[in-house]
Amino acid sequence: MSYLLRVTIDDRPGSLGQLAMALGGVGADIISLEVVERGSGWAVDDIVVELPIGALPDTLITAAAQSGAHVDSVRPYAGVLDTHRELELVDHVATARGNRLQTLVDDAPAVLRASWASVVARTDSGTTLTVCGSSGTPETPLAAAEWLPLSAAAVVDPGENGIPQSWRDSDTRLVAAPLDGTNRALLLGRVGGPDFRPAEVARLGYLIGIIGSIGHPTT
């Protein structure tokens, strides 16, 4: 079975090799790796690994810790990291013949490894509407979105007024980006974490900006 590990490691020569050896020692086969964010002396990586049948994901945490890495999260993963997925998202939305907003929410979760995505809107009267959503979008909708309108992509505090309790109970982390300069936004949820990193928020804003520049996904 495949798992997606988000790890924080020392950004120095040999640290990634030590992690790879430690994971290999528990039978994990590294399928792909992507650097999510890098700072002074540290890096956050997303690593997809394949474990043998019957192996427990907890062994990945133990192995990573032994190499000096910190595991932020371990989640089952159904795909393979694709460095071209951002371009594919832009292309799919730009060329969609049907509902472009639905295409956006269907494809967006794969870009930032979110659990679901939806387009939400706030009317002039303050009413919050869920315009459309991907598979996995919670059945309980937002009761309010006082954080709209947005001027740029940003993390949404789960403690905000109007966030359903069920979202908080499932430890859902949220990030949103404005659409068309209006009271609408693309909202992504990541159930159980980890947090959306600043680099991920910036990437989302960049992607939505590109999509907007080639034609607003208004329908």
Per-residue model confidence as pLDDT tens digits over 38-74: 999 999 999 989 998 888 999 999 999 999 999 999 9
Q: Locate tokens 């966030």: which residue?
A: 163
Cβ density class 84-108: b for 16+ within 10 Å, e for less: ebbeebbeebeebeeebbbbbbbbb
Q: Stretch 100-104: mean pLDDT, rounded? A: 89
Q: Quick one: pLDDT at residue 214?
A: 59
Predicted TM-score (pTM) of the model is 0.77
- Is pLDDT of 37 > 70? yes
- Is pLDDT of 129 > 60? yes
Walk me through the domains of the chain, giving residue ranges and CATH numbers: 2-76 (3.30.70.260), 85-213 (3.30.450.40)
- Percent of the residues in the chain that have a pLDDT greater than 70, as a whole number: 92
Q: Select from 5, 128, 144, 130 the least CA-distant residue to 63.
A: 5
Looking at per-residue pLDDT, the higher value among 123 and 182 belongs to: 123
Cβ(167)–Cβ(140) below 8 Å: yes
